[in-house]
Structure 1
Amino acid sequence: MVDTSRRTIADIVGPAFTIKSLSARFGKPESEIRAAIEAGDILSLPTTDGVNLMPASQFGPDGQPLPGLRVVLAELRRGHDDAWLHAQFLAAKSPLHDDRTIAGELRAGELLDVLALAIQTAEAWSA
């Protein structure tokens, strides 16, 4: 049996940025990042110590959110409004291609397929 009690955030959703580290990495003002979180443009994971973590997998190499991320997150919220659950969805192995995560599908431009998965997943969560 595998002991999952000691799993780290990186084990669950991969590497993540704080607001400060995202700002430093891509030169974005922290206020702009906070506004994007509030608008639902990027996924932010609240922690018990009050830090917001943003999975790195949701950003392209230029620091912009992956194309279509906002609409996918909005669809997932319809099913269940839990950022940690949404992060796990994005980090999950894709049923479309064995070598990609769902976030990887977005990165590859497969928005319509990812959106269909998000709709299906949201419906299952709300059932």
Structure 2
Amino acid sequence: MIRAAALRLTDSVLRRLLEQFADGTVSASDAVESAMNHVDRNRRSDTHGGDVNRAMSLADAALGAEGLQVSGTAVRELGRRVAEGRMTGDEASALIHVLLAYGTPRTEGPASVATLDDRVGPFFDSTSLLDLLRLSADALAASVENRDVLAVVTADGFLLYPSFQFNENGEPLPRLTEVLADLDPDLVDPWGDAVWLNAPGDDLDGMSPAAALRNGRAEDVIRLAGQSAFRRAR
């Protein structure tokens, strides 16, 4: 399988690394690390940094919605290089076959495992949020339906409410309803919406859209929400 994957690659360096791995002359971790170093040195990213981070965050959200752990492994780093445009899907797929079959090395760094909680959470459950907001269950349900409050659903069907959308007094994000109306008109991807709102980006000078809303930049956030919705629909 590895040799067949190597034959499909046009990059001679990556092809040789796979062949060396198949021959047993390099380990899985060395082959993948060398491949990533090669593309980092020789290929430019053709994607805006903020777009890459949002793409990775949305991928994490998709895993989290399925109840899967989001890991900072070499597989994730290969995905980042695809998002950056440094690596093709075929190249990443060939290297992922190596990792799946022979063990996935962890990448170096202070945070080897990142969960969806790191990107979106922590969360309130319904009971704790009702206590904070001093609302009835019906009033909270109406707030979610009106998009005054963002709720996400876990893989086992529980409603959770990302805490970043409230301040310490329980006040919601200003103009969240307008942002969600532009970002996700049919409310089909609440996890993706939560990740987008909480992901820092260059377009907002390093702030997340949620932080920008709290800092009086609602018009900028609404404009970016509309642009993001357009890209999702393409």
What is the TM-score with the length of structure 1 in the denominator?
0.86
Larger of the two Rg values belongs to structure:
2
Tell me the equivalent position of 1:50: 157
Give the equivalent residue in structure 1 for 2:13.
none
1:87: which partner in 2?
194
The residue number in structure 1 matching 2:183 is 76
Displacement of 1:82 after TM fit? 0.4
CA-to-aligned-CA distance 1:74-121 (integer Å, 9 cap, x gap)? 1111387200110110011032222x2211001112100000110110
One-letter code aligned to 1:59: F
The C-alpha deviation readout for 1:64-83, integer Å capped at 9, x for no partner, is 32111001011111387200
Residue 48 of structure 2: aligned partner: none
For structure 2, list consecutive stretches of 5 or more residues without a partner in the other structure.
1-32, 34-71, 77-112
**Partner residue, 1:111:** 218
Report percent identity of matched pairs.
35
The residue type equivalent to 1:97 in the other structure is D
1:12 equivalent in alignment to 2:101: no
RMSD (Å) for aligned C-alpha atoms: 2.0
Task: Tell me, in whole angstroms, the C-alpha distance in 1 between the residues paired with 2:193 and 2:182.
Answer: 10
| Residue in 2 that maps onto 1:121 | 228
Structure 1 unpaired stretches of 5+: none
Residue 21 of structure 1 deviates from its aligned partner by 0.8
In 2, Cα distance between equivalents of 1:81 and 1:119: 15
In 2, the alpha carbon distance for the partners of 1:124 and 1:80 equals 16
Say if 2:161 is the partner of 1:62.
no
Q: Which moved more, 1:57-66 or 1:107-116?
A: 57-66
Structure (1 or 2) with the greater helix fraction? 2
Partner of 2:145: 38
Distance, in Å, in 2 between the alignment partners of 1:78 and 1:33 is 20
SS at match of 2:173: coil
Determine if contact 2:154/2:160 at 8 Å carries over to the other structure: yes
Q: Count residues with an aligned counterpart.
A: 125
Runs of 4 or more, structure 1, over 4 Å off, are none
- For each residue in 1:13-35, what CA deviation from the matched residue of structure 2 results, as whole angstroms up to 9, or x when unmatched? 12111111111223222221111
For residues 130 and 156 of structure 2, the distance between their equivalents in structure 1, rounded to whole angstroms, comes to 20
Q: Distance in 1 between matches of 2:143 and 2:116?
A: 22
TM-score (norm 2): 0.49
